[in-house]
Amino acid sequence: MLKINNLHASVEGKAILKGINLEVKPGEVHAIMGPNGSGKSTLSSVIAGKEEYEVTDGEIFFDDENIEELSAEERAHKGIFLSFQYPIEIPGVSVTNFIKTAINETRKSKGLDDMPAKDMLKLIREKSELLEIDRKFLSRSLNQGFSGGEKKRNEIFQMAMLEPKLAILDETDSGLDIDALRIVSNGVNKLKNKDNAVVVITHYQRLLDYIIPDFVHVLLDGKIVKSGGKELAHELEEKGYDWIKEEVKA
Ligand code: ADP
Ligand code: MG
Ligand code: MG
């Protein structure tokens, strides 16, 4: 589904990613871990096609298509979802209306008409019940005054509604309290199936007790320096990152 070859990328002329190789197949859960500043968020932004990042070498394939020339919006339409892609507050636009628009824009990009209102309501009902999301929450203004947990709930609801092929969840180092942790992990576990894939980016091992990864990769100074199974996350929790830095040096 996703194949990254020798990816180099820079921001404002500074090289951040220095030769990433990664392959994600349908049905897989990958975790990317690494110390602060190692390039985790840059990697997710580059995959999603954010414009501030310049790809200087290498390739990204999604479903066998080189997506380099595609905009972030076009990538989203193809089924790449990045958490916190829409962190903006929009007074007067509800959680539900925002997602309706996103769904209909995706359909339009595929030459389809708007989803009939009846089907949309059914989908909203199904997904909100699956994720145990209160109806009242769905009518609130997007991100306005949202707590950390509510931001996560909104994000997971967006993911459930859009049914992306590839979800990249960049769990920034702060803000994952127990409530948010539960919302994210329940959501991912309920939405995961054999045809989609999830890349969870996290600084902490704790999230990976709830979302069990098939593969764990360690990102250090813009390179994946070690990959393993879920036990690697536990090893990192115990021993930190210094031993890997030593291994890389040696
Ligand atoms: P991580 O998510 O692993 O903490 P980031 O990808 O956020 O790491 O950052 C990697 C490096 O790139 C850091 O040195 C950071 O300062 C720099 N960087 C990331 N995004 C930008 C940006 N938009 N402008 C300038 N520097 C950036
Ligand atoms: Mg960081
Ligand atoms: Mg980050």
Give me ligand 1 centre to Cα 121, in Å: 40
Q: How far is the CA of 41 from the centre of ligand 1 (A)?
A: 7
Bridge partners, 168 (sequence order): 82, 199
Q: What is the whole-number distance in angstroms between the Cα of residue 8 and the centre of ligand 2?
A: 18
Q: Which residue has its alpha carbon closest to ligand 1 atom 5?
A: 39
User: Are 30 and 233 contacting, i.e. CB atoms less than 8 angstroms apart?
Assistant: no
226 compared with 149, residue with greater pLDDT? 226
Amino acid identity of 34? G
CB within 6 Å of ligand 1 — which residues?
11-12, 16, 34, 36-42, 52
At residue 225, the 3 state secondary structure works out as: strand
Nearest residue by C-alpha to atom 13 in ligand 1: 37
Structural domains for the chain: 2-249 (3.40.50.300)
Of ligand 1's listed atoms, the one at least distance from the Cα of 52 is 23
- Whole-angstrom Cα distance, residue 128 to residue 130? 5
* DSSP three-state, residue 218: strand
pTM: 0.93
The pLDDT tens digits for 126-139 are 999 999 899 899 99
How many Å apart are CA 248 and CA 83, to the nearest integer? 31
Digit-coded pLDDT (tens) for 166-208:
999 998 655 677 878 888 899 999 999 999 999 999 887 888 8
**Atom of ligand 1 lying closest to residue 173 CA:** 4
Q: Tell me the C-alpha distance between 174 and 190, whole Å.
A: 24
Alpha helices in 131-241 (DSSP H): 135-138, 148-162, 178-191, 230-239
pLDDT of amino acid 205: 83
Question: What is residue 150's predicted lDDT score, i.e. its pLDDT?
Answer: 87
Cα–ligand 1 centroid distance for 137 (angstroms) = 33
Q: How far is the CA of 37 from the centre of ligand 3 (A)?
A: 7
The per-residue pLDDT for 137 is 93
Q: Could you tell me which of 223, 220, 222, 228 has the C-alpha nearest to residue 244?
A: 220
